[in-house]
Amino acid sequence: MAGDLNLPAELLTEQIKAEKKEISLFYPIDQKNLKKVYCLGLGANPTIKVIIDTLKRFMQMEAAKLPSNLSIDIGSGNFDPEFVPVLAEGVVSGLILGTYKKGMYQTLETKTQKWESNQLKLGFYVPGGFEEIVKKTTVKGMATAETQLKILGLVNAPSNKLTPNKLAEVAVKSGKEFGYHVEVHDKKSIKKLGLEALMAVSQGSEEPARFIVMEYRPVKSGSDTPTVGLVGKGVTFDTGGLSIKGSSNMHYMKSDMGGAAAVLGAIELTAKLQLPVHLIAVIPTTENCVDAKALKPGDVIGSYAGKTIEIIDTDAEGRLILADGIAYLNKNYHPDIIIDAATLTGSCVQTLGYEAGGLFTNNEDLALKLIKAGDQSGERLWRLPLWDSYEGDIKSDIADVKNYSGKPIAGAISAAKFLEFFTDKHPKWAHLDIAGVAFGDAEFYTQKTATAFGVRLLTDFIAGLVK
């Protein structure tokens, strides 16, 4: 590389330490078609998350100075051959994600960036023999990042802009564009289906609930094609209901549909990549508001599964709508695997912080595959117990179960035990609590922002089922 660009080797080794976040800029001598060379440090043993974050940071700092075409040299770094396709995918994803514009409702005119994702012209210098695999992984990197950009916009959208109905419209549009079936149930249809827990949560809001059912079938499928079911919590705004949340951070509760966004992103990306898996994704979506008609602590409600639920805390509403989604999916589609994703508990945030989502399952093989997909995608999971000894936390004296233990401990676990009750003992079910990772602090942002966590994780897991 040093010889090709006519840069002194001693200068490069002296200036570049290859540490994380390091950006070095050089101006080649006697190179008419090459004006600037950026050297980006990835640190030791970089993961795909590190690569993506590095390129996102680079774009956020340098996008306005870049031309519409870039040449990426990954052939001169003497990388491990197995790392080259990961590097190529991460570079493309990071560059595209770095174009995300956070001020979606700002009225002030801002300087137009020279570099936009839809103007992407990338040339790769790769080691010999890696041309085809790099082409394949860059296509995946682009497809993933473009879907993640959509998910970032959804999770960051204010609740008056993204209502349950608007979320349903986004799903319908995506299905038409990428070739999967979408069915949206309105208030009348939800009642007819018997989704009583979803109805109960929504009864305090003027915005009617929606129940979104999406189904992707691969072009070629047979008896050995895996069937996977996903369920995403779609609370477009959560006041906590009568068990109202504190005001200091309530504005962030527009992000309480992060699980729904991840599930929508996963089915869209699965369809785009045409993965050979039969995928069904269900999103129960509603607001949780305070009103004269709102659900009250002490109420007993029904559910799609025919089980009764005592309401202890109206702020434990996500598990109620997920219970209906899981039971509906299981009864009507009989998937081989069921995975639900939700920004469910503050308890999980206290336990794992902002680095990993909580994983709950009694299936060892499913746990291993999800953890592997998390490590591979950079969207990591940590397994927490789902032991029978926790069942006492959801026992009710008046109904089949209660929605909250009332204890200030093990909140994420008792929530998972509640959901397990509605799986009808499905042998391959997993619950992902992504409360700490779907929305958080980020460099170059003054407030918390969406991460699109779960899209890459779930899609990598689905792809891994058919390798």
pLDDT at 417: 98
Tell me: the pLDDT tens digits for 150-199?
A: 999 999 999 999 999 999 999 999 999 999 999 999 999 999 999 999 99
pLDDT at 9: 66
Which of 191, 217, 245, 383 is catalytic? The answer is 245
What average pLDDT does the chain have? Answer: 92
Active site residue 57: no
Give the residue carrying structure tokens 């060379």: 37
The token pair at 137 is 């992984």
Active site residue 319: yes
pLDDT of 6 higher than 80: no
In the chain the first and final C-alpha atoms are separated, in Å, by 36
Taking residue 172's Cβ as centre, other Cβ atoms within 10 Å add up to 15
pLDDT at 1: 41
Dist. CA 101–CA 113, nearest whole Å: 10
pLDDT of 111 higher than 70: no
Dist. CA 180–CA 217, nearest whole Å: 7
Tell me: the pLDDT tens digits for 326-368?
A: 999 999 999 999 999 999 999 999 999 999 999 999 999 999 9
- pTM for the structure as a whole: 0.94
User: Averaged over 93-110, what is the pLDDT?
Assistant: 85
Percentage of the chain beyond pLDDT 70 is 94
pLDDT at 3: 43
- As a CATH number, domain 9-144 is 3.40.220.10
According to the per-residue pLDDT averaged within each range, which of 29-43, 51-65, 111-125, 271-285 is highest?
271-285
The class (CATH top level) of 157-464 is: alpha beta
Task: Write out the residue limits of the CATH 3.40.630.10 domain(s) in the chain.
Answer: 157-464
**What is each CA distance from 265 to 9, 109, 139, 271, in whole angstroms?**
44, 30, 16, 10
Which of 57, 254, 319, 417 is catalytic? The answer is 319
Dist. CA 131–CA 48, nearest whole Å: 19
Higher pLDDT, 262 or 21: 262
In sequence order, what are the residues at sequence separation of 6 or more whose Cβ sits closer than 8 angstroms to the Cβ of residue 10?
Answer: none
Give the residue carrying structure tokens 């040093």: 2
Task: Place 120 in a pLDDT band, splitting at 50, 70 and 90.
Answer: low
Taking residue 177's Cβ as centre, other Cβ atoms within 10 Å add up to 11
Dist. CA 223–CA 338, nearest whole Å: 18
DSSP 382: E
Please compute Rg for the chain using Cα positions. 23
E strand or H helix at 73: strand 69-73
In sequence order, what are the residues at sequence separation of 6 or more whose Cβ sits closer than 8 angstroms to the Cβ of residue 376?
Answer: 48, 460, 464
Task: Write out the residue limits of the CATH 3.40.220.10 domain(s) in the chain.
Answer: 9-144
Tell me: the pLDDT tens digits for 442-462?
A: 888 889 999 999 999 999 999
- Measuring CA to CA, which residue among 435, 405, 434, 399 is closest to residue 417? 405
**Total H helices, total E strands in the chain:** 13, 18
